[in-house]
Chain A
Amino acid sequence: MSTPVAANVITQVRERVKAIETMPSIPQVFLPLLDMLNLPPDLVSLNEVVKLVSYDNTIAAQCLRVASSPLFGLAKSPDTIKAAVISLGLRRVQTILLTCCMGKAFPAKDWPLDPIVFWRHSLGCAMVCRQFSEKMGGGDREKAYMAGLMHDIGFMVNCMVFPKEFGAAVKYALERQIPLDVAELATMGFTHCESGRALAELWNLSDDMIHVIAHHHNPERSGTAQPLVALVHLSDLLCRMRALGYGYYERQKVDLVEDPAWAILLREHRKLDGVDLVRFSFELDEAVEGISHLVSTIMAGGNP
């Protein structure tokens, strides 16, 4: 696949991302929430989360609406964050809040990559990561979800920081029906992995998350977070093969079991072998409508 990007290119990308003043302003509650997700569950209290969220009413309101999506499993919108936590658990509610924050950081605009398509893919990937880790047993499901949700933020960085170059890359990919990262590398000399990484560093994300963002197209390059990166890599491929890709036909044949990421993940989770990939794909197809709906809720902003 892609050749490693030279260190000096990475530095240049980093400098340009830093220099941009209109960098996505993530809602203030985002980073503290994300940090909390990394703490052992017994160290995080409901009250802390509620207090944090009370600083941003729109996020809280949106969270309550998202919680009633079939993908999160509540039949009726809870009235308060507290009620949501009682039904869904604290960690699940945290990831819902984080999802809403991400929607705010990258609102709908006329960008080279349609944000709606981008969000469908990212949310799809988040769901698949979570379901994969559920099926494999063990592993942190909510962390897997966040990894899937954030893996491609580099695309949004490209839209904001390198709109012209990235626009050309998208066009190149569409015309040839090839993967976007291959087109990025061919036309820009770097990919969303490098620009995403620059933003992740700027935001001080955890090392695991940085690895996911930087290496999800080549999981074997991640040293410490290999299984998580491999999980995202496989989920990304599966989404792209099941109507949750980047909105165009990719001439590709995907053999998940033969992918090096499969072996990486299998070392950690023996139960992966028993996952019925065909049935999994059918279930994913069923989720597509719910995901699209969720995207419109998230993009609708704070007020219904």
Chain B
Amino acid sequence: MNAGAQPAKSSPALSAGSEPVDPVYRQIRDLVYKVSGIYKTEEKLYLLAAGCGRRMKQLSAKTSREYWDHLTAHPSRDGEMRQLLNEITIGETCLFRSQPQLDALRKVILPEIVADKTKQVTRRLRIWSAGCSTGEEPYTLAMNMMEESAGTLRNWTVEILATDLNDHSVETAKAGIYGDYALRSTPDYFKRKYFVPVEDKKLQVRPEVKKLINFSRLNLQDDSRMLFMKGMDVIFCCNVLIYFDGSSKSKVINHFYSNLNFSGYFFLGTSESLLNLNDKFHLVHFPGAIAYWKPSLKSGKL
């Protein structure tokens, strides 16, 4: 955008400050996308630059060009890319991280699943939050499902499975106590309805919400345990696969495919892509959200 001719609006060609972005970071952005499926938009490019900056300090690399060589030249490149991914994906999470995903789930997916399963005896919905970190995601899902319990999900049982590799995270998740930062995107309506105030001005999730969720430790790379995860209607695995390389990623995705029921859905984080790791899933769009769909048996497009 031409800053001179226009009012001072945030411009995509400029970083958070007003320094123009070093074009090398666009190259790094493309490389990161190719390796991990994470896309840093122009607006978020400064975060990528900051992550690179921290790595450059570690490596005593002086210029972005020099750092680019670390990322692209043998033998360091695979290891360095992993380090960079760690930098730009630090265990960040919060409640209500993606409203469009929740809308897609409540407004489109649930009615579809309910209509689909209505002839079955067991009216049970199973959702899996894979890589749930400290619990923000599964609690968000649980509260939103409770909102539907008098409507679309009337007479349905909802089970939410929440797993993470990190023991400490799982313990924190079970406690369900959150401060302002984790709650920054949570609507007041939900805060009032589903939380109780506890010490330090924090809020704790009500027991009724916790009741829907089953927390446990699970390594997504543990094939024998992954085989047992069956009958999922929807899987959320947001901002997790970024930690894996291509082959372990595709292994996990194939597991997810078998873990899902027919007509089930799989969500990634909002800036992630599956790339071309699995061609059995259909890419589907909802307003503001992308998901992967396991075709139904009757669609005959397996």
Q: B-contacting residues of A (Cβ < 8 Å)?
A: 65, 68-70, 74-77, 177, 237-238, 240-243, 245, 249-258, 276-279, 281-282, 285-286, 289-290, 293
- Measured in the bound complex, the distance between the Cα atoms of B7 and A289 in whole Å is 13
The reply to whether B42 and A77 form a contact with Cβ atoms under 8 Å apart is: no
Q: A238-B285, A241-B287, A243-B288 are in contact. Are A255 and B293 (CB under 8 A)?
A: yes
Q: Mark B258-295, 1 if CB is under 8 A from A, else 0.
A: 00000000000001011100000011111110100100
Q: Can you name 7 A-B residue pairings with CB atoms under 8 Å?
A: A75-B2, A245-B287, A252-B286, A253-B284, A254-B286, A289-B10, A293-B6
The reply to whether B12 and A249 form a contact with Cβ atoms under 8 Å apart is: no
- Measured in the bound complex, the distance between the Cα atoms of B273 and A110 in whole Å is 40
The reply to whether B2 and A76 form a contact with Cβ atoms under 8 Å apart is: yes
Q: Mark B90-107, 1 if CB is under 8 A from A, else 0.
A: 000000000000010001
Query: B244 near A: Cβ within 8 Å?
Result: no
Q: A70-B12, A286-B42 are in contact. Are A278 and B2 (CB under 8 A)?
A: no
- Measured in the bound complex, the distance between the Cα atoms of B71 and A170 in whole Å is 52
Residues of B within 8 Å of A257, CB to CB, are 282-283
Residues of B within 8 Å of A69, CB to CB, are 1
Please give the number of chain B residues whose Cβ is less than 8 angstroms from any Cβ of chain A in the complex.
36
Residues of A within 8 Å of B103, CB to CB, are 249
- Measured in the bound complex, the distance between the Cα atoms of B268 and A281 in whole Å is 14
Q: A177-B107, A255-B282, A255-B293 are in contact. Are A250 and B287 (CB under 8 A)?
A: yes
- Measured in the bound complex, the distance between the Cα atoms of B282 and A258 in whole Å is 9
- Measured in the bound complex, the distance between the Cα atoms of B282 and A282 in whole Å is 18
Q: A242-B288, A290-B1 are in contact. Are A251 and B282 (CB under 8 A)?
A: no
Per the 8 Å Cβ criterion, residues 117-163 of B in contact with A are none
Residues of B within 8 Å of A76, CB to CB, are 2, 4-5
Chain B nearest CB, measured from A73 CB (Å): 11
Residues of B within 8 Å of A258, CB to CB, are 282, 301
The residue from A240, A277, A282, A286 contacting B287, defined by CB atoms under 8 A apart: A240
Chain A nearest CB, measured from B283 CB (Å): 6
The reply to whether A241 and B1 form a contact with Cβ atoms under 8 Å apart is: no
Q: A255-B284, A286-B43 are in contact. Are A276 and B273 (CB under 8 A)?
A: yes
- Measured in the bound complex, the distance between the Cα atoms of B11 and A173 in whole Å is 34
The residue from A74, A249, A256, A290 contacting B285, defined by CB atoms under 8 A apart: A256
The reply to whether B273 and A279 form a contact with Cβ atoms under 8 Å apart is: yes
